[in-house]
Amino acid sequence: MGAGAGMERSRIVIAGGGLAGLSLSLALKRALGDGVDVVMCDPALSRDPHGDRRSYAIAAAARRMFQALGIWDQMVDKAQPILDMVITDSSLQDPVRPTFLTFEGAVEGEAFAHMVTSGDLTALLLDACRDIGVNLRPEGVKSFSAQGARTEVTLTGGEMVSAALLVAADGARSRLREQAGIGWIFWPYHQSAIVSTISHERDHEGRAVEHFLPAGPFAILPLKDEVRADGTVQHRSSIVWSERSENVPALLESHPEDLQAELEKRFGLQLGKIAFETKPQAYPLAFGVARSFVGERLALLGDAAHLIHPIAGQGLNLGLHDVAALAEIITDAMRLGQDPGSADVLMQYERARRADITAMGIMTDGLNRLFSNDLLPVRLIRDFGLGLVDRMPGLKRFFIREAAGLRRDDAPRLLKGEAL
């Protein structure tokens, strides 16, 4: 790839084509068109996006961003709105699970979140990036070296690319963050989340359920019905089943009937007969946050900057907030003729994201500590708290706006559904 004089300033390399990296590529190219050369590098670009079996709750603010980026209309048929939410708190042995908290899913006239599969959303983003002219490179970034007005990025194939800015969207184990010498505050939760799609007999009616169990939360998240080739309709939900990590290998290797029995104990029988649709996959859970979100001509994005517990389904949403903030800061700077990789511009990003990420990290960590234990006094206090919230409509509205990502008036334009 040639790096002629003048070109370097307007080239941005994004390392990592997960949902965060792809969304940033699309946002920048849509806003700046020929004014920017967006190079997206990830060896995974040549893989089938449907290989990742996870599903995500996309909060209303992030949905508005996808609308502004012009892809939500194609997602609507595949996205299941969460219409209400039920939270219970009990031990596995308890004969009944009392409901402590219920939320109606609507906020400001729309669902507070939609469930989408990672495969569907990734495939759509990839197509949109390709159509708009993002330079898609199915290879990794090996190393980089910032020198004055540019950074020299070396791809795994050996090619060197000169850019004004490198964005590390290479996930929680970011090699680029490490190479930049940026510290990572980290602790493992000793919990793993087992993820699978479950088919069930009865309609979920758009209801999400979260059972707080002592080993960790067990969430049932409604997916859009699937119409099979023979015309039959299959009701489906995604589960995020947290367990102590030491118990997970034995659980996953157990006889299918035993695993099914364990699933039924947690899922319940309210949706009729249930079955695993996809092979359960386990993800170890941990907390991590970068000491800085920027380095020399480098910005960290998504899980490369922060890793949180999925207890509130907010990890990707936090990354999409990074996307909205960084895309706006870069676009505004470049329209003013500023260098998008300069320290001034990058510091704006650091300042814009630090408080939100810290608050979400503390909140999810605290919730997990509060709920993933079976001590009677702790249970009594938290159940009292949940019951209190349930009876206070104002507080409930606050929490639902929070979960929808709509609480801030000074949010980046994309999160309000406005174009850049």
Ligand X SMILES: Cc1cc2nc3c(=O)[nH]c(=O)nc-3n(C[C@H](O)[C@H](O)[C@H](O)COP(=O)(O)OP(=O)(O)OC[C@H]3O[C@@H](n4cnc5c(N)ncnc54)[C@H](O)[C@@H]3O)c2cc1C
Contacts with ligand X by CB under 6 A lie at: 15-21, 41-44, 54, 56-57, 140-141, 169-171, 175, 193, 195, 240, 283, 302-303, 310, 313-317, 319
Torsions phi, psi of 247, nearest 5?
-90, -10
Q: How many CA atoms lie within 13 A of 176 on its CB side?
A: 37
Task: Provide, rounded to whole angstroms, the least separation between the CB of residue 176 and ligand X.
Answer: 6
Task: Provide, rounded to whole angstroms, the least separation between the CB of residue 381 and ligand X.
Answer: 27
In this complex, which beta carbon is closest to ligand X, that of residue 316 or of residue 333? Answer: 316
How many residues appear in the chain?
Answer: 420
Task: Provide, rounded to whole angstroms, the least separation between the CB of residue 250 and ligand X.
Answer: 19
- Cα dist from 121 to 57, 125, 337, whole Å: 12, 6, 33
In this complex, which beta carbon is closest to ligand X, that of residue 12 or of residue 19? Answer: 19
Task: Provide, rounded to whole angstroms, the least separation between the CB of residue 56 and ligand X.
Answer: 4
In this complex, which beta carbon is closest to ligand X, that of residue 237 or of residue 379? Answer: 237
In this complex, which beta carbon is closest to ligand X, that of residue 122 or of residue 331? Answer: 122
Task: Provide, rounded to whole angstroms, the least separation between the CB of residue 169 and ligand X.
Answer: 5
Note whether 381 and 200 are within 8 A (CB): no
In this complex, which beta carbon is closest to ligand X, that of residue 80 or of residue 339? Answer: 80
Task: Provide, rounded to whole angstroms, the least separation between the CB of residue 132 and ligand X.
Answer: 19
In this complex, which beta carbon is closest to ligand X, that of residue 158 or of residue 337? Answer: 158
DSSP 168-217: E---TT-HHHHHTT--EEEEEEEEEEEEEEEEESS--TTEEEEEEETTEE
Beta-bridged to residue 196, according to DSSP, are 239
Note whether 38 and 25 are within 8 A (CB): yes
In this complex, which beta carbon is closest to ligand X, that of residue 35 or of residue 43? Answer: 43
**49: nearest Cα among 17, 76, 2:** 17
In this complex, which beta carbon is closest to ligand X, that of residue 113 or of residue 330? Answer: 113
- Report the distance separating Cα 386 and Cα 191, nearest Å: 24
Task: Provide, rounded to whole angstroms, the least separation between the CB of residue 334 and ligand X.
Answer: 23
Task: Provide, rounded to whole angstroms, the least separation between the CB of residue 24 and ligand X.
Answer: 9
Helix (H) or strand (E) holding 356: helix 343-371
81-97 b/e (C-beta count within 10 Å ≥ 16 → b): bbbbbbbbbbeeeeeeb
Beta-bridged to residue 101, according to DSSP, are 87
- Which pair of structure tokens corresponds to residue 283? 């993800």
